[in-house]
Amino acid sequence: MKINKNFLDLEASYLFSTVNKKTREFIASHPSADVIKLSIGDVTKPICPVVIDAMHKAVDEMADAKTFRGYPPEQGYDFVREKILEWDYTKRGIDMKLDEIFLSDGAKSDCGNIGDIFATDNTVAICDPVYPVYIDTNIMNGRKNNIIIMPCSAETGFLPEIPSDDAPVADIIYLCFPNNPTGAVAPKSYLKKWVDYANAHHSVILFDSAYEAFVTEPDIPKSIYEIEGAKTCAIELRSFSKTAGFTGLRCGYTVVPHELVFDGTELNALWMRRQSTKFNGVSYITQCGAAAIYSEEGQKQIQENLSFYRENARLIFEGVTAAGFKAFGGKNSPYVWLQIPEGYTSWSFFDELLEKSQVVGTPGSGFGQKGEGYLRLTGFGSRERTIEAIERIKASFGR
Q: Which residue has the higher pLDDT, 268 or 12?
A: 268
Helix and strand counts by DSSP (H, E) for the chain: 12, 15
pLDDT at site 40: 79
Confidence tier at 276 by pLDDT (50, 70, 90): very high
pLDDT at site 290: 97
**Quick one: which of 215, 222, 181, 186 has its CA closest to 336?**
181
What mean pLDDT do residues 22-38 have?
94
**Quick one: which of 243, 261, 260 has its CA closest to 252?**
243
Judge whether residue 398 has pLDDT over 80: no
Which three-class secondary structure state does DSSP give residue 207?
Answer: strand
Q: What is the DSSP string of 263-287?
A: TTEEHHHHHHHHHHHH-----HHHH
Cβ-Cβ contacts under 8 Å for 287 (sequence gap 6 or more): 72, 76, 77, 79, 80, 103, 251
Judge whether residue 313 has pLDDT over 90: yes
Judge whether residue 254 has pLDDT over 80: yes
Q: For 138-189, what is each residue's pLDDT tens digit?
A: 999 999 999 999 999 999 999 999 999 999 999 999 999 999 999 999 999 9
pLDDT at site 137: 96
pLDDT at site 17: 86
Asked if 342 and 19 count as a contact pair (C-beta separation under 8 A), the reply is: no
pLDDT at site 11: 82
**Rounded mean pLDDT of the chain?**
95
Helix (H) or strand (E) holding 52: helix 49-62
What mean pLDDT do residues 262-289 have?
97
> Can you give the pTM of this predicted structure?
0.95
Judge whether residue 12 has pLDDT over 80: no
Confidence tier at 191 by pLDDT (50, 70, 90): very high
Confidence tier at 60 by pLDDT (50, 70, 90): very high
Spatial distance between the Cα atoms of 270 and 114, rounded to a whole number of angstroms: 10
Query: What proportion of the chain, given as a percentage, has pLDDT over 70?
Result: 100
Question: Rounded to the nearest 5°, which phi and psi values hold at 308?
Answer: -60, -50
Spatial distance between the Cα atoms of 104 and 82, rounded to a whole number of angstroms: 15
pLDDT at site 42: 85
pLDDT at site 14: 78
pLDDT at site 41: 79
Q: Which residue has the higher pLDDT, 199 or 398?
A: 199
State in Å, rounded, how far the first CA of the chain is from the last one.
59
Helix (H) or strand (E) holding 37: strand 36-37
pLDDT at site 13: 72
Asked if 111 and 133 count as a contact pair (C-beta separation under 8 A), the reply is: yes
**Quick one: which of 239, 269, 235 has its CA closest to 251?**
239
